[in-house]
Structure 1
Amino acid sequence: MNAGTRARLERIGTDGQYVVVPMDHGITMGAVTGLKDIESTIDAITRGGADAVLTQRGIADRVHPNKNDAGYIVHLNGSTTIGPDENDKRRTGTVEDAIRAGADAVSFHINVGSKYEREQISALSDLTTEASKYGLPVLAMAYARGPDIDPEADDYNQYVGHAVRLAEELGSDVVKTGYTGDAESFQHVVESTSLPVVIAGGAKGTDKETLDMVRGAVDAGAAGVSMGRSIFQHEDPEKITRAVASVVHDDAEADDALREAGLAVEA
């Protein structure tokens, strides 16, 4: 890792821990709740303690005036929920596009185990080579998804561990993946790579469920979160961001983090 990459990693995290809020869902899902007035959402979550926000490059002008000195990650592939196959992620820009958009890092989604795996492996490998020339970190969103992968199976964490290791093998700097349900099973995922591992938010649950998941991931050795809808679609994005950041950066327990952020603790 070169000096530029190390310096830019510090812009999207704090002491090697990460609270990233991806909001690239406008391509995937359209202008859903939280993304119509994305300016206000970005202002709220960065005031709440997000280290970085993530969008597609076309939204950059709406990001920078509202991110309160947080880092900025440009996502470089995508698909839609109304297309023939959401797993078929295609390139949406280059590293130079991201630099022109003011990015501190780039990200890329790969579905390990899908029928698009080969193309996505090649594309991620090309991207890490390209990004390293500019000292730009790559956040790989590496998921275990495919016809032979059952998230409910006992060996699901083995597939997720494979996905994060693949991201490291291809030259990524940080890897995001799905949580496997508990700290014990997720520990294998974290131990499968030397990269910082951050978890996705998954399906939107209660505040307590969200914070318990974050706590479990941190207990397993995760370096934080890259959490979208659970944060940007929350009725108070600033407060939920503050609670998540408290667990990630201050090692708070879930209930304590909720109370300190001014959110109710469900019985």
Structure 2
Amino acid sequence: MTTTGIDARLDRIGTNDSYVIIPMDHGITMGAVQGLKDIESTIDGVTSGGADAVLTQKGIAPRVHEHKNGKGYIVHLNGSTTIGPDEQDKRLTGTVEEAVRVGADAVSFHINVGSDHEPDQISQLSEITANAQRLGIPVLAMAYARGPGVDSEDPEALGHAVRLAEELGADIVKTGYSGDAESFQHVVESTRLPVVIAGGSKGTDRETVEMVRGVMDAGGSGVSMGRSIFQHENPEAIAKAVAGVVHHDLSTDDALAKAGLALEA
């Protein structure tokens, strides 16, 4: 159930019900990798390029606000590291109240549907959505199909993951891509929520933009794409190309061309 506050804040992190969100919470997961050491410049670049919102852990908030060019801000509420015992074991790193205090327009939470940690993450996401609803804060659920015997690109598994997010009270859901528009349509139809996709590891510019085109053709609502954008040699340009598809319905070639990126990339 939405409220005036949730609707108003959704407008701050999207454009006309579509979303180009750039998560940059990877510092807790991977360390200060390319694009995150000087996160201020990266935030300025992607928001100048057309991103609607950026996303970080709460401690990075002081480095965000002066550089986001009036765009939206999301605080992520759980995490893990690649050098820890189990990267899928995402633990709570903050609360909705803390996110509000550091100036967030929304919060996000990662759940691995099908993993050994799913039960705890279900309980935690349920509590977060209840607290967020009370405060009028939107929740972006990052609901992935991940776990023993789970195919992370299977549209049935992805459809289950996005439906779980709706059942638990999220307002937007992010998940993996099934590989093509035809199969991803099932994922989009599995929920009434806006569905955005993760970018995964960095591919070519064409691969990135073609994936975004497929999501939009399937009825999706945009992207929540990290490394493919913040680790790009020109984050502003690739953000512009992605936003061209999401917000202006450009073809892959037109989006790349308007962003000044090589068509053969």
TM-score normalised according to structure 2 size:
0.99
1:84 aligns with 2:85: yes
Amino acid at match of 1:7: A
Distance across 2 between alignment mates of 1:72 and 1:198: 16
Residue 144 of structure 1 corresponds to: 145
| 1:75 counterpart = 2:73 | no
Mapping for residues 118-197 of structure 1, pairs under 5 Å = 118-151=119-152, 156-197=154-195
Matched letter for residue 49 of structure 2: G
Which amino acid in 1 is paired with 2:50?
A: G
Which portions of structure 1, spanning 4 or more consecutive aligned residues, are displaced by more than 4 angstroms?
Answer: none
What is the match of residue 18 of structure 1?
19
Per-residue CA deviation, residues 96-121 of structure 1 (Å, 9 max, x unaligned), is 10001100000000000000000000
For residue 132 of structure 1, give the secondary structure of its aligned residue in structure 2: helix
Question: 1:115 aligns to what SS in structure 2?
Answer: coil
Q: Distance in 2 between matches of 1:87 and 1:130?
A: 24
**Alpha-carbon contact 2:152-2:158 (below 8 Å) kept:** no
Q: Deviations over 1:157-176 (max 9, x none)?
A: 10000000000000000000
1:78-133 deviations in Å (ceiling 9; x for gaps): 00000000000000011110001100000000000000000000000000000001
Alignment match, 2:204: 206
Give the letter for the 1:34 counterpart.
Answer: G
CA contact (8 A) 2:144 2:152 kept: no
- Matched residue of 1:102: which SS? coil
Q: Secondary structure at the match of 1:133?
A: helix
**SS across alignment from 1:148:** coil
SS in 2 for 1:110: strand
2:105 paired residue number: 104
CA distance in 2, matches of 1:111, 1:216: 23
Q: Which residue of 2 aligns with 1:38?
A: 39
Report deviation, 1:202. Answer: 1.2
Aligned to 2:224: 226
- The alignment-based identity, stated in percent, is 73
**CA-to-partner distance for each residue in 1:221-241, whole Å, 9 max, x for gaps?**
010000000000000000000
Residue type matched to 1:192 in 2? S
**2-side partners of 1:203 and 1:58: how far apart?**
24
The answer to whether structure 1 residue 251 and structure 2 residue 241 are counterparts is no
TM-superposed CA distance for 1:177, in Å, is 0.3
- 1:236 match: 234
Aligned partner of residue 64 in structure 2, secondary structure: helix
TM, length-normalised to structure 1: 0.98
Unaligned regions of 5+ residues in structure 2, if any? none
Q: Give the match's secondary structure for 2:123.
A: helix
Deviation digits for residues 130-167 of structure 1 (CA, Å, limit 9, x no counterpart): 00011000000000001121246xxx110000000000
Alpha-carbon distance between aligned partners in 2 of 1:139 and 1:53, rounded to the nearest angstrom = 12
Q: Which amino acid aligns with 2:86?
A: D
State the one-letter code of the partner of 1:255: D
Equivalents in 1 of 2:85, 2:79: separation in Å? 13
CA distance in 2, matches of 1:231, 1:93: 25
Q: Which amino acid aligns with 1:234?
A: H
Counterpart residue identity of residue 206, structure 2:
K
Q: RMSD of the TM alignment (CA)?
A: 0.7
Which digits, 9 at most, give the CA deviation of each residue in 1:174-224, with x for residues without a partner? Answer: 000000000011000000000000000012100000000000000000100
Counterpart code for 2:200: G
Q: Which runs of 5+ in 1 are unaligned?
A: none
